[in-house]
Amino acid sequence: MRIGKRVFDLDAGKSLIMGILNVTPDSFSDGGKYFDVDSALLQTEQMIKDGADIIDVGGESTRPGYTKISWQDEVERIEPVIGAIKARFDVPVSVDTYKWQVADAAIACGADMINDIWGLDYYDDPEHHMAQVVADAGIPVCIMHNKSDRIISMDRDTFNREIIADMIKRIGIATENGVKDENIILDPGVGFAKNLEENIWCISLIRELKSLGYPVLLGISNKSIVGKITGLEVDQRKEGTIALNVLGREYGSRIFRVHDVLANKRALTVADSICG
């Protein structure tokens, strides 16, 4: 898969690390830490040194109960950061957004990939669509599972069938709008519209998602699944995050979206060697 100037062989057994860079005041794990360009650049430099293969820039928090902001405000937050990263570092930049306007602006200033938490299924303008923006740019998109009208607490088989059916639908949206198969990544959406039991099921569901023929990204860094299992607060969930990422690697995920790049890079390097 080509992301920006780099080509990654996702069948070679090496895990890719996507470092999270939230330029927001209110993200659940690192809100406010990298809200200005200088601090964002320092964090980017550190994540690259620690082994990040991709930097994922987010301008709107999507934590539970988040406050939605306008696409204009989101663009205002991320544009200078994307531009500064692309000017200083040779690293692919992903943008975490579900708004086509933000994606369009991000791509114009150098973004190499879009990470969509609504899996191309968020509509706010009948004349435009995220899938069209991504297809026109010819860049990769991560399609994450999310749903606003799910009935929580279903049995495991029903849950698995629903997730797979939803993802097939979203893949269809992508390809019908011209997104190439080689530019599609899937994400089971741990932490979104799911209870604890369903979030746990999502880890093993990676095998079924991978069987659809696309690489799978796992984004579980510091999330409530770790907190509910361990009883630990956000700043104490590093070990739990690593454990779930290593399990995700065994089940077939190859891209891992994390806050702590160095620790996860080291753990997944070992997992790659054993699993490979």
Q: Give the active site residues.
A: 223, 257
What is the pairing mode between strands 93-96 and 113-116?
parallel
CA nearest neighbour of 78 among 140, 34, 116, 142: 34
CA 210 to chain centre: 16
* Count of other CB atoms within 10 angstroms of residue 132: 16
Angstrom distance (rounded) from CA 152 to CA 39: 39
**Phi, then psi, of 97 in degrees rounded to 5:** -155, 155
CA 259 to chain centre: 12
Q: Are 215 and 186 in contact (CB under 8 A)?
A: yes
CA nearest neighbour of 22 among 73, 62, 50: 62
Q: Name the region of 106 (left: φ>0; alpha: ψ -120 to 50; beta: rest).
A: alpha
Angstrom distance (rounded) from CA 181 to CA 179: 7
How open is the CA angle 130-132-135, to the nearest 5 degrees?
110
Tokens describing residue 123: 């509509």
